[in-house]
Structure 1
Amino acid sequence: MEVFKVVEIGEMVPAFEEEMLIVLFGQMAPPELRAICVVHDYQAKEDNVLKVGTKLQLGAQEYTITKVGDAANKNFRELGHVSVYFRNGENDILPGAVIAEPVIFPKLQVGDRLKIIND
């Protein structure tokens, strides 16, 4: 299990509830993207931590990843960056994204713990 925490929440993050999207980014997030990101302190220890079936806990809500884009793990390992879409059904996926369910927008605050759980 990987545990890390939210260090900053961009002021535009709540606006993405309509899209059911959270953009995670490591602490090196560029200034022009910080407004739309949940910035965290994750330091990648291994490759390919994001897989179909991985549990992702964001605040109090636990999700299960159902699809992983081709570049999601590389971006997450190098930049701490991944777009998490909360959807179900057959959806196209962007290379740097994952799709997770249930379709519930996470309520996050600075200091919340985030977890990646691979059994």
Structure 2
Amino acid sequence: MMESVVMSIGKEAISQKEPLIILFDESATEELRKFSVIQQFKTKDIKKIAVGDCLFFDDQKYTIKSVGPVANQHLEEMGHISIVFKEAGSEDQLANALYVEPFELPNIKEGTVIRYA
């Protein structure tokens, strides 16, 4: 299991209109930080994420339904992954995304623990 902690949340990172959260580690540029949730990993061992795994924002549980082809690579290299809270379409799927259920945004604040299990 991997764990990270939310260090900061950009002003434009969370919108009820877009069912998407963009995560980066602390290496994100200032411009990216405006649109991102910055996470700090507790360990350097990044586990490969697969369909059927779970993602937790504190106690809020999500099931991973689809993993984009470069999602694991981006997570390992720069702590970057997009979490999409809707059905994965065959044509418009993001290459760096995890598509999860339920289709509702989590409550996130600084200090929220994200667990990849």
Aligned residues: 114
Which letter does structure 2 place at the counterpart of 1:51? A
Please name the residue that 2:97 is paired with.
97
Gaps of 5+ in 1: none
Superposition RMSD on alpha carbons, in Å? 1.4
Which letter does structure 2 place at the counterpart of 1:11? K
C-alpha separation between the residues in 1 aligned to 2:57 and 2:104?
11
C-alpha separation between the residues in 2 aligned to 1:44 and 1:101?
27
Report 1:48-67 matches (<5 A): 48=48, 50-67=49-66
Moved over 2 A (4+): none
Which letter does structure 2 place at the counterpart of 1:96? N
User: Could you tell me how far 1:59 is from its partner in structure 2?
Assistant: 3.1
User: Could you tell me how far 1:47 is from its partner in structure 2?
Assistant: 4.9
Gaps of 5+ in 2: none
Matched residue SS, 1:70: coil
| 8 Å contact kept, 1:23–1:36 | yes
Q: Deviations over 1:36-80 (max 9, x none)?
A: 1010102541452x2101100013311011001111000000000
User: Could you tell me how far 1:112 is from its partner in structure 2?
Assistant: 1.0
TM-score (norm 1): 0.88
C-alpha separation between the residues in 1 aligned to 2:27 and 2:68?
22
C-alpha separation between the residues in 2 aligned to 1:46 and 1:52?
16
TM-score (norm 2): 0.90
Which letter does structure 1 place at the counterpart of 2:106? P
| 8 Å contact kept, 1:83–1:98 | yes
C-alpha separation between the residues in 1 aligned to 2:20 and 2:30?
20
